[in-house]
């Protein structure tokens, strides 16, 4: 029986094939070379954490497969500026259309409104997509280990490195973590939402964090909405968070972001 991630992969592979038929590897690479200079996504997060603050990857997200429309009043540039003013370190912008009502223009608009590095949040399978992400101005890509083989993951990471982009490697169970640690990227995301069932639990970060080496920057993703939630996962060693839905639902996104990040717990040994 197929799950949500399988269904997304099926249509995404068709979508990529169709795009490649219209725009060749050479054409997309030419556009990528003309994109704005890469901003250091991983470096920005590492610097924020090093000074004792929480590092937030704030997500510009219109909808989701499980919740439907999240924010009707959706203006990517305005939201990005609010996140930056509220203290976010980086942005994540959904570009997948069928499941998230995303669009490439949302990334372009959001990045153009701020000085923050930006992750293209999409489902990546082909190095062509990495060049496309760079052509849009993306500074980082996402590799979801649940949806790619080891060979695909390595190929995507290598392509991102060729473009001087950062890579966020996402896992949600122990076997995926073991596979992810064979890659080079310092950014290790633990998704508290199981992309196959869409169930969410902060215990996922708790359980997997013990297997994350000190040389990786642990990013806890999904399921957090309060300062208490951040304090909980910080106790497991994560001081970088990817949060979208809870902030997207706020009337005043800037104020909500500032409040969320206002009182980081002190750095201490993992629980």
pLDDT of residue 49: 97
Domains of the chain plus CATH, in order, are 4-261 (3.20.20.70)
Amino acid 199: pLDDT: 83
* Whole-number pLDDT of residue 269: 43
Indicate yes or no: pTM above 0.85.
yes
Stretches in the chain below the pLDDT threshold 50 = 269-271
Residues 212-261 have pLDDT tens digits of 999 999 999 999 999 999 999 999 999 999 999 999 999 999 999 999 99
**Three-class DSSP labels, the chain:** CCCHHHHHHHHHHHHHHHHHHHCCHHHHHHHHHCCCCCCCHHHHHHHHHHCCCCEEEEEECCEECCCEECCCCCCHHHHHHHHHHHCCCEEEEECCCCCCCCCHHHHHHHHHCCCCCEEEECCCCCHHHHHHHHHCCCCEEEEEHHHCCHHHHHHHHHHHHHCCCEEEEEECCHHHHHHHCCCCCCEEEEECECCCCCCECCHHHHHHHCCCCCCCEEEEECCCCCHHHHHHHHCCCCCEEEECHHHHCCCCHHHHHHHHHCCCCCCCCCC
pLDDT of residue 86: 98
Per-residue confidence (pLDDT) for residue 268, from 0 to 100 = 62
What's residue 67's pLDDT?
84
């Amino acid at each position: 029986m197929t799950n949500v991630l399988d269904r997304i992969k099926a249509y995404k592979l068709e979508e990529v094939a169709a795009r490649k038929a219209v725009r060749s590897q050479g054409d997309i690479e030419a556009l990528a070379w003309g994109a704005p200079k890469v901003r250091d996504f991983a470096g920005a997060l590492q610097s924020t954490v090093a000074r004792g603050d929480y590092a937030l990857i704030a997500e510009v997200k219109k909808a989701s497969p499980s919740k439907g429309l999240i924010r009707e009043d959706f203006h990517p540039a305005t939201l990005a500026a609010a996140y930056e003013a509220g203290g976010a370190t980086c942005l994540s912008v959904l570009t997948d259309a069928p499941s998230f009502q995303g669009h490439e223009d949302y990334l372009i608009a959001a990045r153009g409104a701020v000085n923050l590095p930006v992750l293209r949040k999409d489902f990546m399978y082909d190095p062509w997509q990495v060049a496309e992400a760079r052509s849009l101005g993306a500074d980082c890509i996402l590799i979801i280990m649940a949806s790619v083989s080891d060979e695909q993951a390595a190929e995507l990471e290598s392509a991102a490195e060729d473009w001087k982009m950062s890579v966020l490697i996402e896992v949600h169970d122990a076997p995926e973590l073991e596979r992810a640690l064979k890659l080079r990227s310092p950014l290790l995301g633990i998704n508290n939402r199981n992309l196959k069932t869409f169930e969410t639990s902060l215990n996922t970060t708790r359980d997997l964090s013990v297997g994350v080496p000190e040389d990786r920057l642990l990013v806890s993703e999904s399921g957090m909405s309060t300062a208490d939630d951040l304090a909980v996962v910080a106790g497991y060693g994560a001081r970088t968070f990817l949060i979208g839905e809870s902030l997207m639902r706020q009337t005043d996104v800037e104020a909500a972001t500032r409040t969320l990040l206002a009182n980081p717990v002190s750095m201490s040994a993992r629980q």
